Amino acid sequence: MDVPLALPAMTEKMRSEADRVLNDEFFLRGETVGTFESEFAKFVEAEHAVAVSSGTQAIHLSLKAAGIGEGDTVITTPATFIATANSIQRTGAEVKFVDVDLDTYTIDLEKLETAVEEIENLSAIIPVDLYGYPVDIEKIRNIAPDATIISDACQAHGASIRGKKVGTMADLTAFSFYPSKNMTVGGDGGMITTNSRELSEAARSFADVGRSIGEGEYEHERIGYTARMDTYKAAIGKEQLKHLPEWNERRTDIAEKYTSAFDTLDEVDLPPSGNEEITPAWYFYVIRTNRRDELSEYLENKGIETGVHYPTPVHLQPPYRDLGYEEGDFPRSEQWANEVLSLPVHPHLTDEQVNHVISNVNSFFN
């Protein structure tokens, strides 16, 4: 039996909508981009949404919209996909890392508090909702009331805290539609959500060659980028979004099955599974074990695809080593990179596939 780690859905309706807009609308800035933005904004209960070309651009343009650049310092964690840190570097601001909390796989709040006290020119913080586990933005705000908070929710579409969806608690929130994510647009894509009109207009302008919003086509008020979402991708995205709640529910069901099946395994640390306040949007089911590579090979031989997200913490990637970071700087993130293994939790798994994963993880450890 083969069990893929991710399986992006592409229904007939998604294909026909993509086809329809390719015939009826301009390839860029078509009406359907606006429809997808409004529906996504409605889903996360945000006042504004701006569709962009990738999750990386969603983070980068959020920083630009917030006026972050040279002379600023932005905090994030090295336990993330490298794009989070790259987006900061590309603005000219300086990235400062804060280690991860292994219980939540998100930024360590105590260490964040110390960092905030120490950094003089702190402008922004980018917490990462890794594997769909949302960071409590209220806590970050209490720690750093003056910093702009940009949530990297690239893996957390539909997660919520105290009943409120991820998407409005931070000043700006960035989502990715990369094909393995909980929803996609049939290729690269991203979304920025915010309750601030000013920030949304600045982000939209940056994504659209710096165009002035509501002015003539060749009026440009800033140096912008070409980072818009294609119309056909928005057509696919708006159909994907309709399925997201039901897909996330299935992900949760599978995660709960894994948690009860693996609870007694001594050699395994289980992922945070949420509580009465926190509802994750399971992206992968990520366990930690110091027999990670052995387990991954064992499962591969049983047809089960696993992944390591991510094998190198960002501070030890070459461009960040060049900034002076070295081994030992963020021990928890280094441990995280050595121990994590992502198990499939996508909604298209059959019960038989889920049971196949459970019985093989159990047989490996027993």
First to last CA, the chain: 21
Phi (first) and psi of residue 126, to 5 degrees: -120, 90
Give whichever of 81 and 285 is closer to ligand PLP, judged by the CB atom. Answer: 81
C-alpha dihedral sign at 110, 116, 119, 122: positive
According to the binding rule CB under 6 A, does residue 334 interact with ligand PLP? no
List the Cα angle 139/125/197 in 5-degree steps.
90
Give whichever of 191 and 354 is closer to ligand PLP, judged by the CB atom. Answer: 191
Sole binder of ligand PLP in the list 36, 43, 105, 178 (CB under 6 A): 178
Residues in 225-244 that interact with ligand PLP by CB under 6 A = none
Q: Which residues contact 36 (CB under 8 A, 6 or more apart)?
A: 51, 229, 234, 235, 237, 238, 241
According to the binding rule CB under 6 A, does residue 190 interact with ligand PLP? yes
Cα(102)–Cα(51) distance, integer angstroms? 32
Sole binder of ligand PLP in the list 32, 106, 151, 155 (CB under 6 A): 155
Cα(98)–Cα(103) distance, integer angstroms? 15
List the structure tokens of 136. 């409590």
Residues in 268-327 that interact with ligand PLP by CB under 6 A = none
What SS3 state is found at 127? coil
Sole binder of ligand PLP in the list 37, 72, 101, 152 (CB under 6 A): 152
The DSSP-derived string for 24-60 is HS-SBS-HHHHHHHHHHHHHHT-SEEEEES-HHHHHH
Residues in 4-63 that interact with ligand PLP by CB under 6 A = 54-56
CB atoms within 10 A of CB 269: 15
Polymer length of the chain: 366
Residue 150 Cβ, how far from ligand PLP at the closest point, in Å? 11
Give whichever of 80 and 240 is closer to ligand PLP, judged by the CB atom. Answer: 80
According to the binding rule CB under 6 A, does residue 158 interact with ligand PLP? no
Q: Which residue is nearest to ligand PLP (CB)?
A: 55
The H-or-E segment that residue 12 falls in is helix 12-24
List the Cα angle 36/147/115 in 5-degree steps.
125
Q: With CB under 6 A as the rule, give the number of residues binding ligand PLP.
A: 15
Residue 156 Cβ, how far from ligand PLP at the closest point, in Å? 9
Residue 340 Cβ, how far from ligand PLP at the closest point, in Å? 13
Sole binder of ligand PLP in the list 107, 116, 147, 154 (CB under 6 A): 154
Contact pattern from residue 56 through residue 85 relative to ligand PLP, giving x for each residue in contact according to CB under 6 A and a dash for the rest: x-----------------------xx-xx-
Residue 223 Cβ, how far from ligand PLP at the closest point, in Å? 21
CA 134 to chain centre: 10
Residues in 122-151 that interact with ligand PLP by CB under 6 A = 128
List the Cα angle 299/302/305 in 5-degree steps.
55
According to the binding rule CB under 6 A, does residue 176 interact with ligand PLP? yes
According to the binding rule CB under 6 A, does residue 159 interact with ligand PLP? no
**Amino acid identity at 156:** A
Sole binder of ligand PLP in the list 17, 72, 188, 334 (CB under 6 A): 188
Interface ranges with ligand PLP (CB under 6 A): 54-56, 80-81, 83-84, 128, 152, 154-155, 176, 178, 188, 190
